[in-house]
Amino acid sequence: MWCFIAQDGFSFGGLLLAYGILRFTAVDWPRPDHVLGIGLTAVATFILILSSVSMVMSVEAAKACDQKRTAKWLGLTILGGLTFLGIQAYEYTHLVGLGIGFTSSVFDGVDINDLFGSTFYAVTGFHGLHVTAGVIYLMCIYRGVLKGKYTQGGMSYSAVELVGLFWHFVDLVWILVFTFIYLL
């Protein structure tokens, strides 16, 4: 898992570096606070951070061999991920309705730099795919927890811990994406 996270970190690092270079060399880049729904995305960010907390609680419950609490906290983590994805889908729908596309963008009737939409959707979409994969991974582990796996003592909790590592990575990456794309 650590090797995968390191490799994936380089992928996100490359995307964010490309975004930064394109953004700061463009003379006509729109201000994110004028185009993007920062308030709603801040709520989504908070939900994702809370899902990291519930993931920690799930790992601790699995270590304590508590199947019921492991399932409860894992379920809340899944709910947080699904809520985040729902907000992202709403945001995409809203932005497309405003005229922000992947290959061309118009905002308030004025053409804006086409690379804005391209880089925005590429970076946030890549992250969204990771959240989707994480939610599926969490659901697989959740199913195992319901069957009595991962809370039997010893190292049986390791699968819960591994999905937790991935989930924390996805959350950390989102904090960077939110900062670089929405706030700066």
Residue ranges making up the domain that contains 45: 2-183
- For residue 28, what pLDDT is reported? 86
**173 Cβ contact list (under 8 Å, min separation 6):** 9, 12, 127, 130
Question: If we measure between CA atoms, which residue out of 141, 176, 136 comes closest to residue 162?
Answer: 141
- For residue 103, what pLDDT is reported? 86
Check whether 164 has a pLDDT greater than 90.
yes
What is the number of domains present in the chain? 1
pTM over 0.85? The answer is: yes
Min mean pLDDT across 42-51, 109-118, 172-181 is at 109-118
For residue range 74-102, list pLDDT tens digits in order. Answer: 999 999 999 999 999 999 999 999 999 98
Type of residue found at 73: W
Spatial separation of the C-alpha atoms in residues 146 and 97, rounded to whole Å: 41
For residue range 14-71, list pLDDT tens digits in order. Answer: 999 999 999 999 988 888 888 898 999 999 999 999 999 999 999 999 999 999 999 9
**184 Cβ contact list (under 8 Å, min separation 6):** 32
Question: Domain with 14 in it: what CATH number?
Answer: 1.20.120.80
Spatial separation of the C-alpha atoms in residues 94 and 58, rounded to whole Å: 34
On whether the CB atoms of residues 125 and 174 are closer than 8 A, the answer is no
Planar angle of CA 50, 143, 141, nearest 5 degrees: 55
For residue range 117-135, list pLDDT tens digits in order. Answer: 999 999 999 999 999 999 9
Q: How much is the average pLDDT of 108-112?
A: 85
- For residue 108, what pLDDT is reported? 83
- For residue 158, what pLDDT is reported? 93
Distance of CA 6 to the CA centre of its chain: 17
On whether the CB atoms of residues 131 and 12 are closer than 8 A, the answer is no
